[in-house]
Structures are given as C-alpha cells and as structure tokens.
Structure 1
Amino acid sequence: MKGQGGKLGFYPIALLLLLIFSISKSQAATKDAMERAATQSDLGDHSVLLGAAYAGASLFTVGERGLILRSNDNGESWQQVPSPVSVTLTGIAFSDKNNGYAIGHSGIVLGTSNGGDSWQVKLNGQALAKQLLTEAIDDGDDQTIQEMQRLVTDGPDKPFLDLLQLGPKHLVVVGAYGLAVETKDAGKTWQSWMGRIENFFGYHLYAVRKQGDRVLIAGEQGFIALSVDNGQTFKTLESPYEGSFFTAELLPNNDLIVAGLRGNAFVSHDKGSSWEKIIDPLPASITASLISKNGQLFMSNQAGMILSLANDQLLPINHKPLPPLTHLIETSKGNLLALSISGSIPVHIGNSK
C-alpha cells in the first residue's frame, strides 16, 4: 500500500499538523479515539480547523480532536456541536440544509440528516479494511489480497483527506494510500473506486473535484487522474511535477488546475494533455483553493497568504501574512473565510456590501 519515498519527510510544518497519520499511536489508542466523543471546549474556534461548508444559512467547520463547530453569522462566532469521535476531522460537505458528511483520520465518515444538530458514524477504518479484503478475495487477485491484508493488520490508521458530496445519500471519499470509496445509500453500503484508478504505488489522494461529467483527483508525487464519464473510468495523466498536489480545480472553461508543494501550480488548457506553470511569487506550499461565485480562483498557502489567479499568475491579496492556512470558503456575504492552524479568519475581498 505504500508509495515510493517517505510519506512525511518532505511536508512543511503546517501540513505535518494537518495530515500526520498518528503513526506513533497504538491501535488501541486509535480505536479509543474512534469511539470517544469529542471533548467540549471553549477553545474550539482557536484550534486547527481543516474544512468548512454551509448547510443552508449555517456554516460548519471541522478540525482536530473531532471538533465540529457551527456559526450562524458567517464565522464571526462559533458554537461547538457534539461529535461522536475525537479523531481529527479533515473535511465536511452538505448537499442541502439537512444532509451532510464529515471525514477524518482512522477512516472515519460521519453523517447528519438534521442540519448538523447530531452526527453518526457511517464508516470507520476497521470496517473499510475488512470490506476491501473481502472484495479482494472475491476477485482472486493475490497482490491485492496481500495489500488489503496489510491494511487490516495496520488497523484504522489511514485518514480520509477529501470528499465529494453528489447528493443527500451519494458521497465519494479519497485519502491516504490511495483509498477511494463511494456510497449511494447514505453510508449503509460502500463500493471501492480503487480498481478504477491506476494508482499502482498507493499514492495519497489529497483532492477530488467534479464538474459536469468530469472528475479530477490529485495527490502525492504529482499524481493526477481524470474521468470524463462521472467517475466510471479514470485516465492517469502525465504530471508536470514530481512533488505532491494538495488541491485541484475544474474550471467552467474545461481548464484543469493542480497546486501543492513549494508553491508549484499548473494549468492545463487541453484537458490534461499538456501543462503550463502558474507563476507564484511565493515558494510556500499551496494548501487549498476556491472558485468564488463570480468565477475568481483563490488559493491559500502555508506562509499565510491568500492569492488570486489572473492571467496564469498568482497575486497576493493580503499584505500581512496570516497564520499557516488550511482551507478557504466563500461566505454568504461574498467575502472569504480562511481556516488556519489557529482558528478561522475573515478576509475582506472588496466585493461585498
């Protein structure tokens, strides 16, 4: 299951905080965190926050130690919501004001059908590993059986890193060591996407995006895969860079964008056949991206800068660095909310009233 090279050795400090796989913890400790509810804390909005999404008028964010926070004023104040786990949560998405999912370490997927008031465990790493092993045995592929047996032996220590919610009951999740699974019945059953994606070295998958029939996946050591048939099949694209991509975007004009380690970002104007380097003035790892409602693309980086894309060049919009940033979301007022290793930060971009 392991890819080539060290998995953690080249990450900048912010990404170590975000993506470290708790390899020093015992399986017992990992299982305990999977089954222990998050501790209530007044410091939640000053913690490491990693993902955010709207459920109607309510804004949710997730982060370390199982934190789930809700804001009814676009991130100006936060209230903690009970969470059934205390593992780090890495992402959250809603299809409407009621139905949403959160993902995290230990192969955790949480679900809600009441607008985030309560959350239930829909999947954990132990159940996933056993299912993948059963599928491998049914397929009779000896190499895959060995890999899945190793996954079971390792225990629930593999994090999910991004999610794509396609409907109230339809979710796609990707993560470490090439994990990629889908549910179409709100987590009652899960199907593997790993056989569709040519990821022979088990590279970590950091980002998944969808627009129309296209699905784009980007990950470790320059891995890029594109589907043009709603994720039924994928083609692995030739990468312009051997370092990891932590985010990706599909633009309405069919352009593809990938970005990540040391500020390396690229755009393809021909569906991934060739790539052009995006000029980035800062050699800091790009951690997140966002396409605003008016079509503007923003990126954030480990150096605490937010950048906007214009003519294949990234330009900083904040002159004073913020803490290392982890995620961006556009608020209902048209501004940005940046998540960081020390909480959420409102960012005015000059187009709100």
Structure 2
Amino acid sequence: MSYKNTTETSVTVVNFWRKLGRYTIMALLLCRIDGAVSAVADAIERPAIESHLVEHSVLMAASYAGSHLIAVGERGLILRSDDDGKSWQQQPSPVSVTLTGVDFSDEKNGYAIGHGGIVLRTVNGGAEWKVQLDGRTLAQNLLQKAEASKDEEAIYQAKLLVSDGPDKPFLDMLLLGPDHLIVVGAYGLALETKDGGKTWVSWIDRIQNYFGLHLYSIRKQADRILIAGEQGFVAFSTDNGQTFATLETPYEGSFFTAQLLGDSEIVLAGLRGNTFISDDNGADWKNIKNPISASILASFINANGQVIMANQAGILLGLTENRLVPLTRKRLPPLTNILEKTNGSVLALSVNGPVSIDVGDLK
C-alpha cells in the first residue's frame, strides 16, 4: 500500500468515527466503566471521611453564609471558616462524591451540588447537610414524567439515564431564594426546584441542546439568563428562563464561565483562555486579547463592576478595555474558582486548597 493510500485510509477512519457520533463512542466506553459507576453509586451514600489535610485538598467552590465562609471540594469535603479564610474546619458531609458548587441565599439556607447528580441542602448555615437529590432519584423522576407525557424520545432518554446509573455531575447552580434553585451539568442536565428540592422541573426541553452538550455555567441578570457549555454552546433567555434561544458564538471550544453586564453585555471565557464579549446580547462578538493561553475556569464581577477571572496557570486576570490584564504578581497553584471577600480581597480556590489574596498583592 502506498503512503498516499495509507493516509487516505487513516483520514477515512477518523472521519468515520467522527460521523459515528460522540454518543455511540460514549456508549461503548460506558460498557467498560461499570466499576467507576459503582464507585459513584457507593460514594453518594457514604459520608465524607475526616481528614487533617483538608486545607490542602482540591476545592471547587465557596460562598458566604452570613459572616462565615463555606467551601466544598473533592471527596465530599465541606469546610467552614469563621475568620474570613485564615483557617478552616471540616464539616460533616453525607456524601463522598466531589462537590462542585455551593451558594447561600442567607446566613442559614444554602445548597451544594456535585457528582452523582447530588444536591445537598442546609438550613443551619452549613452545620448539617441533607441530600435533596441524587442521580438515581433524578433518573426515575424524569422517566415517570416522560412516561406520563407519552413522549417517546423523552422516555428513551430517561431510560438511558436510569441504565447509566448516577454518574452525571452537576457543574453549576443559580440560587434565587431559600427554596428556589436551578442546577445545570453534564449531558445537558438542567433542573429547577421552587420548593427547596422536594420537587424538580426539567429545563431540558426548553434548551435546544440536541447533542446533550455539557453545561458548565449559568448566570442571571434581571430577566436575562445565560447558560454556557462545551463546543461553544450558549443558551440565552430574555424572559426569566421560560424560553431559550441558542446563540451563535465564534468559538467551538468549551466556555467554562460567563458573566452578564449592564442590560446587553455578555462575557464568555473558557478553553485555552479564549474570551469573547458582546454588547448586543450575543448578536455580535469581539475577541478579548489574553496574554495567557491557559483555560479560564472561573470569574466574578467585583464591587467596582470589573470582571475578574482565574485560570489554570494560577493567575488572576482583570477585564480592562477589551483585554485581559494579569493582576497577581506571583503564580499560584492551578485555580478552580474565585470569590470576592467582604474586604475586597480575593479567596482563590486551587488544587492545593484555599489561598487568600490581599488587595496589596494585586497590581
């Protein structure tokens, strides 16, 4: 066989697998990860193990509960700080799956989300947590509603969720009140509860995510809700989430974080540091210059209205005049999330635990 024929054959094989589709490939892979699924199933029922290394563990999110800080991370870790992040104490957690998000509506009421379709709730400021939803319950609920609606496609998809087991993580959350929560996650999962997790309504049929792309970020400003995910997918609502349109974006890579500014500005950031801004609700986009090509995983809008971002290179970036400017003098461990503290400094979460960055450390 000639080199040309070998090359053509290789290209044909690659194109075949691309056309075969990501879900067929995933189905083949799932046949070989029964052990991993079982491990997740066990972890959603097993309390987190106490550890003396919690301040050096991977943390994924943090939030204020009144004057206290609550952080969550790997192996179901829940940490509390009563001195604004100087020291941390582990709190009891009913699960051992990685927790990816946490937020509080007030000093008492809060939620945490994570792998295995887990949603936890606390009503006493994070001292105790109870499971409000897990992947098994989620799949069964979706199947029951699909069968009641007699929607054959919905029934088929729900049965897949049931057979897969509780292996799909929630990746971001939007807390709108003590009892009102929206969660998004892998394979297009999007759910809402208005009664503190007693009942859930699926948003999957509102979002035109036909390939089940992962949803990484959800943000709200007034009646605008934006959901960003993999392969450049962005769903946008201007009626408080009742309906969504799919925005055309200039990048086919994943967007891990987003922000809504003013009445019509959208900021998207993600894989390899790619960042874009629109000042007309996504009709047109401008590329934001970024001197660092590391993926941006998190962002917030500070008290001055500036967008602050964190990347896997361990650097904080500030959005200034359509460009990103490094804000930290020294490189930190790879960052997973950031939170503005009450004194204007930054709590940076990393693969090596929490790091407090004082205002004097910012340029």
Which category describes the TM-score, using the shorter chain as reference length?
Answer: over 0.9
2:307 corresponds to which residue? 297
Question: Is 1:39 matched with 2:49?
Answer: yes
1:135 corresponds to which residue? 145
What stretches of structure 2 of length at least 5 have no aligned partner? 1-19, 27-31
| Separation of aligned partners in 1, 2:132 and 2:285 | 38
| Separation of aligned partners in 1, 2:237 and 2:164 | 31
2:355 corresponds to which residue? 345
Give the SS at the match of 1:50: strand
Q: After superposition, what is the alpha-carbon deviation per residue over 1:280-301, rounded to whole angstroms, capped at 9, x for unaligned?
A: 1011100100101221110010
Q: Any conservation in 1 of the 2:328–2:361 contact (CA below 8 Å)? A: no
> Counterpart of 2:272 in structure 1: which amino acid?
R
1:12 corresponds to which residue? none
Question: Is 1:217 matched with 2:227?
Answer: yes
Match of 1:95 among 80, 84, 105: 105
| Separation of aligned partners in 2, 1:255 and 1:206 | 19
1:85 corresponds to which residue? 95
1:175/1:269 Cα in 2 relative to 1: closer, same or farther (>3 Å)? same
| Separation of aligned partners in 2, 1:264 and 1:43 | 34
Question: Is 1:151 matched with 2:161?
Answer: yes
Q: Which structure has the larger Rg?
A: 2
Deviates more, 1:316-325 or 1:178-187: 316-325
1:340/1:25 Cα in 2 relative to 1: closer, same or farther (>3 Å)? farther
Question: Is 1:246 matched with 2:256?
Answer: yes
What stretches of structure 1 of length at least 5 have no aligned partner? 10-21
2:194 corresponds to which residue? 184
| Separation of aligned partners in 2, 1:323 and 1:193 | 36
2:75 corresponds to which residue? 65
Bigger relative CO (Cα 8 Å, ≥ 6 apart): 1
| Separation of aligned partners in 1, 2:264 and 2:151 | 37
Q: 1:73, CA displacement in angstroms?
A: 1.2
Q: Any conservation in 2 of the 1:4–1:201 contact (CA below 8 Å)? A: no
Give the SS at the match of 1:298: strand
> Counterpart of 1:104 in structure 2: which amino acid?
G
> Counterpart of 2:113 in structure 1: which amino acid?
I
Give the SS at the match of 2:153: helix
Q: 1:321, CA displacement in angstroms?
A: 1.3
1:280 corresponds to which residue? 290
2:16 corresponds to which residue? none
Question: Is 1:108 matched with 2:121?
Answer: no
TM-score (norm 2): 0.90
1:262/1:49 Cα in 2 relative to 1: closer, same or farther (>3 Å)? same
Q: Any conservation in 1 of the 2:45–2:95 contact (CA below 8 Å)? A: yes
TM-score (norm 1): 0.92
Q: Kindly tell me the number of residue pairs found equivalent between the two proteins.
A: 338
Q: Any conservation in 2 of the 1:262–1:285 contact (CA below 8 Å)? A: yes
Deviates more, 1:141-150 or 1:244-253: 141-150
Q: 1:333, CA displacement in angstroms?
A: 1.0
Q: 1:183, CA displacement in angstroms?
A: 0.5
1:125 corresponds to which residue? 135
1:16 corresponds to which residue? none
Q: After superposition, what is the alpha-carbon deviation per residue over 1:104-162, rounded to whole angstroms, capped at 9, x for unaligned?
A: 00000000011111000000000001111122222222222212111110000000000
1:347/1:119 Cα in 2 relative to 1: closer, same or farther (>3 Å)? same
Q: 1:224, CA displacement in angstroms?
A: 0.3
> Counterpart of 1:317 in structure 2: which amino acid?
L
| Separation of aligned partners in 2, 1:293 and 1:158 | 35
Q: Any conservation in 2 of the 1:159–1:175 contact (CA below 8 Å)? A: yes
Q: Any conservation in 2 of the 1:93–1:100 contact (CA below 8 Å)? A: yes
| Separation of aligned partners in 2, 1:72 and 1:169 | 25
Question: Is 1:227 matched with 2:237?
Answer: yes
1:332 corresponds to which residue? 342
Q: Which has the higher helix share?
A: 2
Q: After superposition, what is the alpha-carbon deviation per residue over 1:263-283, rounded to whole angstroms, capped at 9, x for unaligned?
A: 101000101111111111011
1:53 corresponds to which residue? 63
- Structure 1 segments, 4+ long, off by >6 Å, are 6-9
1:217/1:89 Cα in 2 relative to 1: closer, same or farther (>3 Å)? same
> Counterpart of 2:260 in structure 1: which amino acid?
L
1:216/1:118 Cα in 2 relative to 1: closer, same or farther (>3 Å)? same
Q: Any conservation in 2 of the 1:23–1:157 contact (CA below 8 Å)? A: no
Q: Any conservation in 2 of the 1:334–1:351 contact (CA below 8 Å)? A: no
1:27 corresponds to which residue? 37
| Separation of aligned partners in 2, 1:93 and 1:124 | 18
Give the SS at the match of 1:189: coil
1:257 corresponds to which residue? 267
Q: 1:6, CA displacement in angstroms?
A: 8.8
Give the SS at the match of 1:35: coil
| Separation of aligned partners in 2, 1:273 and 1:109 | 35
Q: 1:316, CA displacement in angstroms?
A: 0.4
